[in-house]
């Protein structure tokens, strides 16, 4: 019994350590970005561990054998990190920076921004494998990284609430409106990014004018 408890604890610990690792990687990107570019592409970061109940639910839903090895291999979102970015271009920038790190293995990329889900859901999902150094071994642990904008996150949080509120039987007019709301959120993202680009050009011109004045 004690052995199973230790095995289970170590199993879950590996995911916690993987989240610590990826959390540190994201924090370094955020801080270095701010220092070098005087710009912060990351609004906020959340990490979460799937609860044992939720893991068991998925095991039964997907007919996964109830063994540690099968769970480890077939459930790839036990450890999850969600990064909320300012603009859509920041999503791809952060994703590339993480994906190009040499100790990270990219398993799968699901681009729900370019190809939104039928309900309108948008986000970039990347399944990664991260090495975790334990006392007597190295484990490669799956982490699901979700990257989205504030508008995508706003939509997803409320859609999640509405979906559960209606006990998974959402009336059709509501699903249509939800999809429309997702389009509106995407439109807002485009507008904010375009505003940001224009302001950046203006800032650049003002900066060059200042430099020219200083040279005169
Ligand atoms: P939680 O509580 O966030 O963990 P999978 O079942 O993961 O093997 P799937 O369904 O293809 O395969 O995974 P996908 O599409 O990558 O989505 C997994 C996660 O994305 C979900 O995790 C949600 O967090 C989020 N997500 C996906 N689709 C939607 C959506 O339509 N609405 C909202 N609000 N979130 C979505 P979990 O495990 O479902 O939940």
Half-sphere exposure in the Cβ direction for 156 (13 Å, CA): 19
Closest CA to 123 of 154, 98, 101, 99: 154
**Strand 138-149 versus strand 124-133 pairing type:** antiparallel
pLDDT for res 165: 63
Q: Which of 15, 121, 143, 158 maximizes ligand 1 atoms within 8 Å of its Cβ, making it the mutation to test the pocket?
A: 121
**What ipTM describes this predicted complex?**
0.91
Architecture of the CATH domain 2-151: 2-Layer Sandwich (3.30)
User: Would you kindly state where each structural domain of the chain is located, as residue ranges?
Assistant: 2-151
pLDDT for res 150: 97
- Band (pLDDT 50/70/90 cuts) for residue 1 is low
Give 50 Cα–ligand 1 centroid separation in angstroms.
12
- Judged by DSSP in three states, 79 sits in strand
């Amino acid at each position: 019994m004690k052995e199973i408890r230790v095995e289970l604890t170590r199993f879950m610990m590996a995911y916690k350590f993987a989240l610590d690792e990826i959390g540190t990687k994201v924090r370094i990107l955020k801080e270095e970005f701010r220092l070098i570019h005087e710009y912060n592409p990351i609004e906020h970061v959340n990490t979460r561990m799937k609860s044992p109940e939720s893991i068991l639910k998925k095991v039964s839903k997907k007919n996964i054998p109830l063994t540690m090895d099968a769970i480890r291999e077939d459930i790839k979102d036990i450890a999850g990190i969600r990064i909320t970015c300012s603009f859509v271009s920041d999503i791809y920038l952060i994703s590339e920076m993480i994906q190009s790190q040499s100790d990270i293995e990219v398993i799968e990329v699901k681009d729900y921004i370019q190809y939104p889900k039928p309900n309108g859901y948008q986000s970039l999902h990347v399944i990664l494998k991260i090495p975790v150094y334990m006392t007597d071994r190295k484990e490669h642990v799956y982490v699901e990284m979700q990257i989205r904008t504030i508008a995508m996150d706003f939509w997803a949080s409320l859609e999640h609430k509405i979906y559960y509120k209606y006990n998974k039987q959402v009336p059709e007019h509501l699903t249509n409106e939800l999809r429309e709301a997702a389009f509106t959120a995407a439109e807002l993202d485009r507008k904010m990014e375009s505003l940001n680009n224009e302001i950046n050009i203006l800032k650049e011109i003002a900066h060059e004018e200042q430099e020219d004045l200083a040279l005169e």
